[in-house]
Structure 1
Amino acid sequence: MLDYRGKTILITGGTGSLGSALTRYILKEHPDIKQIRVVSRDEQKQAQMARELPLSHFPQLQFVIGDVRDKARLIRVFDGVDYVIHTAAMKDVHIAERNPDECIKTNIGGAQNVIEASMEAGVARVVALSTDKACAPNSLYGATKLVSDKLFISANTTRNETGTTFSVVRYGNMMGSSGSVVPFFLKKKREDGVLPITDSRMTRFNITIPYGVKMVLLALETSWGGEVFVPKLPSYRIMDVANAIGPDCEKPIVGIRPGEKLHEEMISPSDAFYTYDLGAYYVILPSSPPWPVDDFITAFKAKKVPPGFSYNSGENTAWETVDSLKGLIKAFKKD
């Protein structure tokens, strides 16, 4: 178990859906933590979060305006930090397609800045958030996150004299996060009762925000350096989400947009060469790990996946139903 007592943890993109949930969870479960630095470039979200978590009750909180594109700023705010969780990214697939240079600056340049600032500050552990779209990407967003993943993985062996460990968590669509399908459909239902469907065959992996928090902290606590953690998740059909939210709404088919897939992958057949099953989740090991693989297998009772294995939302064995989605959406609306 990782010791949080007297430690300082920094969360980039800390005012986002996952970042704010991580902050709340850590404050609740580890009140003896020294400090949580919430770093983001959105002062309005910081002000809102500070109202919800007032410093009079949570003196461990420090809100810091900063952009991952600004390496000099990161070096300053990473000083004295023990653990970093990197959630900041440009995430909208369609905006990224229209603004590729901006996406590259944030998702790739920002990732390298986080790596270098972590090394310079002597941070002990770094976990970077990824996406299923980074597996066999066909969108610019996915391609930038794949590059980001590889930067974090290679950082464990490249110019890393401080001993900082870097790992990655790859997950599917986070239910209820800003920009995700559930709040979009809820908004469209309220506005005009029309839920636009890109393709009725479309599927996605589904992860709740609490489970996302759990996976990130699992990686932070157990990583040896260089792993990609992949949770085992249920899939949903886009039509089931639409029917759970608005069974009586119109559902016109509008066609797949640039950068979208019918189904998402989290583990490709090429990844299978390095993928191990750890029970509740998979781990993709680096091709040249900086530690003995046999020791890892023994420590975690890891089992190698079969050759040609892939983890695809359309071929998944676990599925959300309309009823289960209604329950998750109801819980999300309460929050």
Structure 2
Amino acid sequence: MLSNSSILLTGGTGSFGHTFVPMTLAKYNPKRLVIYSRDEMKQWEMAKLFKDDRRVRFFIGDIRDRERLYRALDGIDQVVHAAATKIVPTAEYNPFECVKTNIIGAMNLIDACIDKGIKRVVALSTDKASSPVNLYGATKLASDKMFVAGNSYAGGHDTRFSVVRYGNVMGSRGSVIPFFQSIKDAGVLPITDARMTRFMITLEQGVELVWHAFEDMQGGEIYVKKIPSMNITDIAKAVAPTARQEFIGIRPGEKLHEQMIGVEDALHTYEYSEHFKILPAIHGWSSDPYRIKDGIKVKGDFMYASDNNQDWMTIPQLEAWIAANVSKIGLP
């Protein structure tokens, strides 16, 4: 699917893009891999890393700008949509900006992809889109619904849309591990709540889930990777074993536990060896054998959350991961 094709990645200068680009170049050898984003300095810095690779191109633009998207999509076969306003407190205090990017931007991309004849589109989602309690999660839920419905919205066009959803990305810019790393020398780590749990996924696993979606999708699926959970206090111990933990309370819009599949979605969810698939509730697509394939229907009361997970990461396991990835933690 991706081999010798032209791929556009929105929001491509972020942590995901810095992992997706080299991994995809190495595995699939695409004809072109276009980074579409609005920050010229981040593009400038990223371009230095790929200055000798003619397959990597850079295109300044904002997903809020429909006309610019249409121009960027010329000759493109597949799209990975990673652009988003994603910091929870930022979205709470700047709701209009979050809506413009995460909802209106998604609408622009869906329309442009259909009109330009893009073959496949995979959009990145978040645990916060499942039973959302903050604006960021609500906008991503709306975005997920639009990408799922985009498959019927496309009508007779061949464009197909799917979504991948995962939780806390280990070591990504703005996440908890690089934050703890940056302040650990002070000897005190702020903990929102001792009960808090988080899913743990690496950027490489996130990229592989996107690849799987491209190979497997019929259109409208939400892919959820099976990953371990960890308690926030254990994450702190793995980063700074001797630091004192100071409890400060939950931030605006924050959840105690991450949830990627709610009980409301159980009716349409199937389990596979390494992931789950939430199938579309519309058009009877959740009973489509081409979408189900070899999946096993989950129980009616099924819920996939970081506190009821069967798989847990230990402190030594996270310590080993940090030691192996210390040079990359917190980078774009």
Residue 52 of structure 1 deviates from its aligned partner by 1.1
Task: Find the counterpart in structure 2 of residue 169 from structure 1.
Answer: 164
C-alpha distance after superposition, 1:253-277 (max 9, x if no partner)? 0000111111111111100000001
Q: Is the 8 A contact 1:156 1:290 kept in 2?
A: no
How much has 1:3 moved relative to structure 2? Answer: 4.8
Determine helix, strand or coil for the equivalent of 2:101: helix
TM-score by structure 1 length?
A: 0.95
Distance 2:13 2:70 in 1: 20
The answer for the alignment partner of 1:52 in structure 2 is 49
**Residues 8 and 333 of structure 1: CA distance in aligned 2, closer, same or farther (over 3 Å):** same
1:152 to 137, 147, 153: 147
Picking from 72, 85, 90, the partner of 1:90 is: 85
Distance 2:262 2:286 in 1: 24
Classify 1:320/1:292 alpha carbon distance in 2 versus 1 (closer, same or farther; 3 Å): closer
The answer on 1:229 being equivalent to 2:212 is: no
Mapped contact 1:12–1:40 kept (Cα < 8 A): yes
- Tell me the distance in 2 between the aligned counterparts of 1:207 and 1:292: 27
Q: Is the aligned partner of 1:115 residue 2:125?
A: no
SS at match of 2:245: coil
Q: Show the counterpart of 1:278.
A: 272
Segments of structure 2 that go 5 or more residues without pairing to the other structure are none
Q: 1:39 to 1:93 in 2, by over 3 A?
A: same
Equivalences for 1:4-23 in 2 at 5 Å? 4-5=3-4, 7-23=5-21
Query: How far apart in 2 are the matches of 1:281 and 1:200?
Result: 28
For 1:297 and 1:122, the matched residues in 2 are separated by 22
Counterpart amino acid of 1:260?
E
Aligned partners of 1:226 and 1:289 also within 8 Å: no
3-state DSSP of counterpart to 1:195: strand
Change (3 A) 1:189 1:302: same
Q: Deviation per CA, 1:43-81: give whole Å up to 9, x if none.
A: 111111111111xx2101110111111111001101111
What do the CA deviations read for 1:123-168 (whole angstroms, capped 9, x no partner)? 0000000000000000000000000000000000014332100000
Q: In the TM superposition, what is the alpha-carbon distance from 1:289 to its structure 2 partner? A: 4.7
Q: Provide the rounded CA distance (Å) in 1 between the counterparts of 2:316 and 2:306.
A: 19
In structure 2, the CA distance between the partners of 1:297 and 1:53, relative to structure 1 (3 Å rule), is closer
Q: How many residues align?
A: 328
Measure the CA separation in 1 of the matches of 2:152 and 2:284. Answer: 7
- For the residue of structure 2 that corresponds to 1:252, the secondary structure is strand
Shift of 1:20: 1.9
Q: Against the structure 1 CA distance between its residues 305 and 326, is the aligned structure 2 distance closer, same or farther, given a 3 Å change threshold? A: same
Distance 1:294 1:108, change over 3 A: closer
CA distance in 2, matches of 1:30, 1:282: 25
CA distance in 2, matches of 1:17, 1:331: 17
The one-character-per-residue Cα deviations of 1:146-192 (angstroms, maximum 9, x if unpaired) are 000000000000143321000000001101111100000000114x2
Q: Give the AA of the match of 1:74.
A: L
SS at match of 2:59: strand
Checking the alignment, whether the CA contact within 8 Å between 1:97 and 1:259 is kept in structure 2 is yes
* Aligned counterpart, 2:64: 69
Residue aligning to 1:306: 299
Q: Deviations over 1:232-266 (max 9, x none)?
A: 01001100010011111121100001111111111
Q: State whether residues 82 and 124 of structure 1, in contact with CA within 8 Å, keep that contact through their aligned partners in structure 2.
A: yes
Partner of 1:315: 308
Mapped to 1, the partners of 2:121 and 2:212 lie a distance apart of: 12
In the alignment, the residues of structure 2 paired with residue 46 and residue 61 of structure 1 have an alpha-carbon distance, to the nearest angstrom, of 11
Describe the superposition over 1:95-128 as per-residue Cα deviations: whole angstroms up to 9, x where unpaired: 1000000000000011111101101110000000
Q: Which whole-Å CA distance do the structure 2 matches of 1:239 and 1:134 have between them? A: 24
Q: CA deviation at 1:193?
A: 2.5
Alignment of 1:128-207 (within 5 A): 128-190=123-185, 192-207=186-201
DSSP-derived class of the 1:259 partner: coil
Secondary structure in structure 2 of the residue aligned to 1:174? coil
Report % sequence identity. Answer: 48
Q: One-letter code of the match for 1:106?
A: T
Distance in 2 between residues matched to 1:188 and 1:268, nearest whole Å: 35
Q: 2: distance between equivalents of 1:273 and 1:41?
A: 39
C-alpha RMSD of matched pairs (Å): 1.3
Scaled by the length of structure 2, the TM-score of the pair is: 0.96
The 3 A distance-change label for structure 1 pair 292 and 260 is: closer
Match of 2:122 in 1: 127
